[in-house]
């Protein structure tokens, strides 16, 4: 008699587990369908290279350094602000700009003058 109770309890528990698992899967599918509906399609941006401002400048002498973001000519000792990014096994450099186009976070662009 006790064996029958153990087996019936096991089957009832297994049935409840499978039922809850199916409800979970259906809910997960509904959530995925809902997010796919509301997710905007990615737009491809086509930029014409002739519209970039510093591409219209006259040819520069060899060895002239320019900022890749704003196109400013850089002197010999002027550098770029950059940071190293490590992704998995590879590392890359993210250029943030030169002293003309990069604004450091937390610093105001206005000069604060004290009232006398």
Q: What is the pLDDT of residues 16-60, one digit of tens each?
A: 999 999 999 999 888 888 777 766 666 666 767 666 666 667 777
Provide the pLDDT for residue 10: 93
Provide the pLDDT for residue 114: 38
**Average pLDDT along the chain:** 79
Q: Which residue has the higher pLDDT, 105 or 100?
A: 100
Provide the pLDDT for residue 113: 42
Element (H, E) at 19: helix 2-38
Range list of H helices, 39-80: none
- State how far the alpha carbon of 9 is from the alpha carbons of 2, 3, 14, 16, 36, in Å: 10, 10, 9, 11, 41
Provide the pLDDT for residue 116: 34
Q: Contact at 8 Å (CB) between 94 and 87?
A: no
Provide the pLDDT for residue 16: 95
Task: Dig out the tokens for 37 from the structure.
Answer: 């509906």
Q: Contact at 8 Å (CB) between 71 and 57?
A: yes
- Percentage of the chain lying above the pLDDT 70 cut: 72
pTM of the predicted model over 0.85:
no
Provide the pLDDT for residue 47: 67
- Calculate mean pLDDT across residues 86-107: 82
Name residues whose C-beta falls within 8 Å of residue 113's C-beta, 6 or more positions apart in sequence: none
């Amino acid at each position: 008699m006790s064996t029958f109770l153990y087996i019936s309890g096991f089957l009832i528990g297994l049935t409840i587990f499978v039922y809850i698992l199916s409800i979970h899967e259906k809910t997960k599918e509904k959530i995925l369908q809902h997010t796919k509906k509301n997710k905007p399609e990615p737009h491809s941006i086509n930029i014409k290279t002739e519209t970039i401002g510093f591409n219209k400048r006259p040819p520069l002498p060899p060895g002239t350094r320019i900022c890749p973001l704003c196109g400013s000519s850089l002197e010999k000792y002027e550098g770029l602000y950059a940071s190293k990014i490590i992704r998995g096994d590879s590392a890359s450099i993210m250029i943030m700009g030169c002293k003309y186009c990069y604004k450091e976070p937390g610093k105001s662009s206005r000069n604060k003058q004290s009232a006398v």
